[in-house]
Amino acid sequence: MNNNIEGARDQLPSQKQKLLKAYAEIGWLMAFSLPPPPLNLPTSYSSSTVNGHTVAVASTRRRLSLTRTFVSKASEKDDETTSFNPFGFVTDNPSSRSAIQLPEAPAEDGNVGQMLYRIEDKGREYGSYIKSGGFRWFVRETGSSDARLGPRGTVVFLHGAPTQSYSYRVVMSQMADAGFHCFAPDWIGFGFSDKPQPGYGFDYTEKEYHEQLDKLLDVLEVKSPFTLVVQGFLVGSYGLTWALKNPSRISKLVIMNTPLTTSSPIPGLFQQLRIPLLGEFTCQNAIMAERFIEAGSAYVLKVEKADVYRLPYLRSSGPGFALLEAAKRINFRATSGQIADGFKSERWDTPILVAWGMSDKYLPQSIAEEFQKGNPTAVTLKLIEGAGHMPQEDWPEKVIDALRYFL
């Protein structure tokens, strides 16, 4: 059989050989951007004829499913390192599995259009669209600035990549009940805000993010000084570098699980995004955001939550390419170094609360402790037991308690 196959392959025209080689190379690249399929997929065999030779062809059902990987203690130890792992985002969330299924009969078993119709009205709690700087921002707002309602001040919540302001919904609701006026925008390129193409007024650089945030705060009439809450990678870090440039506008600063020192690890997702071709494949994974959240936490997202984090990436290619451009332009180490130096004792005296999820799989607790040592007078460290990379999503009640105590 093998000799017959090789003989048939040798007889193929050279143009077909080139095409087969190209398809093989593309398939190899895609293997790195998709999770590995289960090994026990049902297999059947069919035959086809190539230049008179009968060739056995194995086929499998076109259903992909994700299973949580169980590892030994030895491999668990390896997972704690910062080595690059292209298959590091696995989940057993049934919602994630349904998002990447390729049904045998799409018309009968559901398709992307039906899924969008089912979830497109989710995830917009307390939100509305605001025009600022030529772009349309999606901004969540709770509470009021009306002095008669006893406002205790304004709090602005900034999310990190690749997520959105939806993660703050519970915290914002209860902080409003406590008398605070809260805003949480989706950064440009994320969530429900605009995702402009690079070269058309926005190139996803730190400078542009700072400029657009300034304009948005003016439109929202956020009065200084206010409390700034920041969490997450990339645009989360830009929230901190914005604070360093505008110290007089900040009354208090709250940091949750954000790179704070040059020793902060860089997750595999952002490493993949910076690799040519592989980054283009990775950024178009519709379940990228929910997988990133689950991989950084001890918990699996409920289906209704996973739907919202997935929705922007499912609706169009724009969010993925926006994330790709932002990831290419940031210098993670330099930005973390700027943050570590900028908030040291001799340069920053405004109170800082570091509310840190202890079960973060991306950023260890030692990062927060190292940051506190740089400015022990201004920095208060509050460890949140049970919470992972996104404490506001994992355990919002504990975040609210920490904020109320600090503010």
Element housing 391 (H / E): helix 391-394
Q: Phi/psi at 105 (nearest 5 deg)? A: -125, 85
Query: Which helix (H) or strand (E) is 235 found in, with range?
Result: helix 235-245
pLDDT for the residue 23 = 44
- The confidence score (pLDDT) of residue 33 equals 44
Which amino acid, 152? R
More confidently predicted of 307 and 86: 307
Say how far apart CA 229 and CA 166 lie, in whole Å.
Answer: 14
pLDDT tens digits, one per residue of 326-345: 999 999 999 999 999 999 99
Nearest of 213, 188, 217 to residue 201 by alpha carbon: 188
Q: What is the pLDDT of residue 321?
A: 95
Question: Higher pLDDT residue, 37 or 374?
Answer: 374
- With beta carbons less than 8 A apart as the criterion, state whether 158 and 217 touch: no
Q: For residue 123, give both structure tokens.
A: 């995830």
Question: How far from 303 is each of 99, 119, 306, 390, CA to CA, in Å?
Answer: 11, 11, 5, 17
Mean model confidence pLDDT for the chain: 80
**Residue of 293 and 54 predicted with greater confidence:** 293
pLDDT band at 351 (very low <50, low <70, confident <90, very high): very high
Q: How confident is the model at residue 77 (pLDDT cuts 50, 70, 90)?
A: very low
373, pLDDT greater than 90? yes
Q: What is the mean pLDDT of residues 117-122?
A: 70
pLDDT at 312 over 80: yes
Q: pTM, whole model, 2 decimals?
A: 0.76
Is the model's pLDDT at 395 over the cut of 50? yes
Q: Which of 16-20, 74-78, 94-98, 354-358 has the lowest mean pLDDT?
A: 74-78
56: left (phi over 0), alpha (psi -120 to 50) or beta: beta
pLDDT in the model for residue 149: 62
The whole-number pLDDT of residue 16 equals: 43
Q: Strand 250-256's sheet: what is its strand order? A: 127-132, 135-142, 181-185, 154-158, 226-231, 250-256, 352-357, 379-384
pLDDT of residue 93: 59
Q: Which of 84-88, 231-235, 304-308 has the lowest mean pLDDT?
A: 84-88
Residue 20 CB neighbour total at 10 angstroms:
12
Q: How far is CA 374 from the centre of its chain?
A: 28
Half-sphere exposure (Cβ direction) of 210: Cα atoms closer than 13 Å: 12
d(CA 335, CA 342): 10
CB 296 within 8 A of CB 391: no
Selection from 134, 112, 156, 364 nearest residue 251 by Cα: 156
Three-class secondary structure of residue 226 per DSSP: strand
pLDDT tens for 261-287 read 999 999 999 999 999 999 999 999 989
Are 383 and 358 spatial neighbours (Cβ–Cβ below 8 Å)?
A: yes
Half-sphere exposure of 316 (CA within 13 A, CB side): 14
DSSP secondary structure code for residue 233 in this structure: B
59 C-beta neighbours (distance < 10 Å), count: 11
> What does the alpha-carbon distance between residue 23 and residue 187 come to, in Å, rounded to a whole number?
37
Backbone angles phi, psi at 57, to 5 degrees: -125, 125
* Confidence band of 63 (pLDDT split at 50, 70, 90): very low
Which residues have a Cβ under 8 Å from the Cβ of 178 and sit 6 or more positions away? 152, 400, 404
Higher local confidence (pLDDT), 141 or 23: 141
Q: How confident is the model at residue 292 (pLDDT cuts 50, 70, 90)?
A: very high
Return the pLDDT at 200.
85
What integer is the mean pLDDT of 170-189?
96
